[in-house]
Structure 1
Amino acid sequence: MVAQPFLLKAEVDGAVRKHIPDYLLVTDEGPVVVDVKPLHRLSKPEVAFTFGWTREAAEARGWKYEVWSEPPTAELENVRFLSGYRRDWLFDRGLVDELRGADLNGVSLRRAAASLPGRPEEQVRSAVYHLLWTHEFTVDLDRPFSPAHLLRRTA
């Protein structure tokens, strides 16, 4: 990945246009040119125009072109929330291992928190959130977290 990798200069509609893309990704499938812009600015005519001719220039070389924006609000808030559970050393290793060995695939967050009767639910819930952060489990991040979210094992 290279930030601000090059200056694109092209004649578009009779005028010389210049643009520096935000990133160039070198992938196994070939180069990918990426521009990053907040979602609310994508509808501005000058942004749409610039990204349009940038796409044409990249694709003319056989490269991919993508525009990235912030994720939907619920997803962003969920990720921010889970980031509070990222620090391994804050969690009881035995508790985390018990949860790893438990059959929690398809279980709601509410049931998962109560799945280890000898452990306080708050600690179990926190450890489940940690396992979500480390991608050992996943849930639907497109809606705000609730006790009804279903866990899916990723490994």
Structure 2
Amino acid sequence: MSSTRGATTDTTTLGDPERRRVVDHVRVMSLTWCGEDARLVTAAPSPAVAEQIRPFLPAREVMDYAGSRHTPGDYYSHTDDELLRYESWNECRWLRILDFDPHITYLVAQPLTIEGFDIEGTLTATPDIYAETRDGERLVIDPHVSELDMLDPKDAIRAARRARLVGATCEYLGWTYYPVETPPQPLAANTDFLADFARDIGYDPVRPTILQAAHRATTLSDLWKQLGMTLGNHPLVPSCTYHLLWTHELTFDRNERLSTQTIVRSTSDH
């Protein structure tokens, strides 16, 4: 890939190969992102840009208007203590899952705009989510692949090429690109539920007792019965338990639907 003429990508297939086989190269020409000084920066892809780029604020505004087929809104990120603007409910659910993931340390929505072209002309793409992990990995998550099946063949091809444009950019920058569909169940349902208990509303009176009681693996039902003997019918016990599941101070199998029979255990000694 040239550092002066842009990044290229190989051909690929997205979706039904009979309908939407993408047989053309796409080329990345420029990247625009908002830095920590809240100014938009536009630059051609280069090794220097790959080192310096770190999205800080959205690169574009998500519009909310009558008749839109999207459902925009704002998600409060507990990872960054920031409001993140999303464009669709599917995107919001992925933000929650990433916010819940203990390995994620940084989140930005609409992180950068990519300009490029293919044989049919100009391509512009703004991926939905940028994330960083504790290990220093940089991720781009684009929850739009499932929409290809709702488009006519021509529009689906263009959407697939925009996805390839994002993929080529991430490959050049050394980031990992995840074009995703609907979040997997029951992880999404668990995350949606626990997000309501993410904020600490004053759990200190019961937190240590719950963690001590869960030093051995136990079901939620048995845990609450045990706590009933020490704390009585304390109104904060259930919500604090769910809060500790969100903060990962209590562990459980996130890929099994949360219920009173879910087995939980404290992650540290108390």
TM-score (norm 1): 0.71
Secondary structure, aligned partner of 1:88: coil
Give me the identity figure in percent: 24
Partner of 1:19: 125
Secondary structure, aligned partner of 1:115: helix
Partner of 1:95: 206
- Structure 1, residues 103-128: CA drift from partner, whole Å, max 9, x if none? 44421111111122132276533332
Structure 2: which amino acid aligns with 1:36?
Answer: D
Distance in 1, matches of 2:113 and 2:200, equals 42
Give unpaired runs (5+ residues) of structure 2: 1-54, 60-110
* 1:9 maps onto 2:9 in alignment: no
Structure 2: which amino acid aligns with 1:109?
Answer: L
Q: Is the 8 Å Cα contact of residues 145 and 179 (structure 2) preserved in structure 1?
A: no
Partner of 1:125: 238
Partner of 1:85: 197
Count matched residues.
153
The structure that is helix-richer by fraction is 1
Partner of 2:221: 110
Greater Cα shift, 44-53 or 144-153 = 44-53
Partner of 2:166: 54
Q: For residues 88 and 20 of structure 1, do their structure 2 counterparts lie closer, same or farther at Cα, with a shift above 3 Å needed?
A: closer
Greater Cα shift, 114-123 or 100-109 = 114-123
Distance in 2, matches of 1:126 and 1:26, equals 29
Of the two structures, which has the highest relative contact order with CA contacts closer than 8 Å and spacing of 6 or more?
1
Could you tell me which of 140, 143, 147 is aligned with 2:253? 140
Distance in 2, matches of 1:50 and 1:85, equals 37
Distance apart, 1:51 and its partner CA? 0.6
Greater Cα shift, 37-46 or 104-113 = 37-46
Give unpaired runs (5+ residues) of structure 1: none
Q: For residues 106 and 57 of structure 1, do their structure 2 counterparts lie closer, same or farther at Cα, with a shift above 3 Å needed?
A: same
Q: For residues 139 and 112 of structure 1, do their structure 2 counterparts lie closer, same or farther at Cα, with a shift above 3 Å needed?
A: same
Greater Cα shift, 145-154 or 9-18 = 9-18
Paired residues for 1:64-75 under 5 Å: 64-67=176-179, 71-75=183-187
Structure 1: which amino acid aligns with 2:226?
Answer: S
Distance in 1, matches of 2:124 and 2:141, equals 14
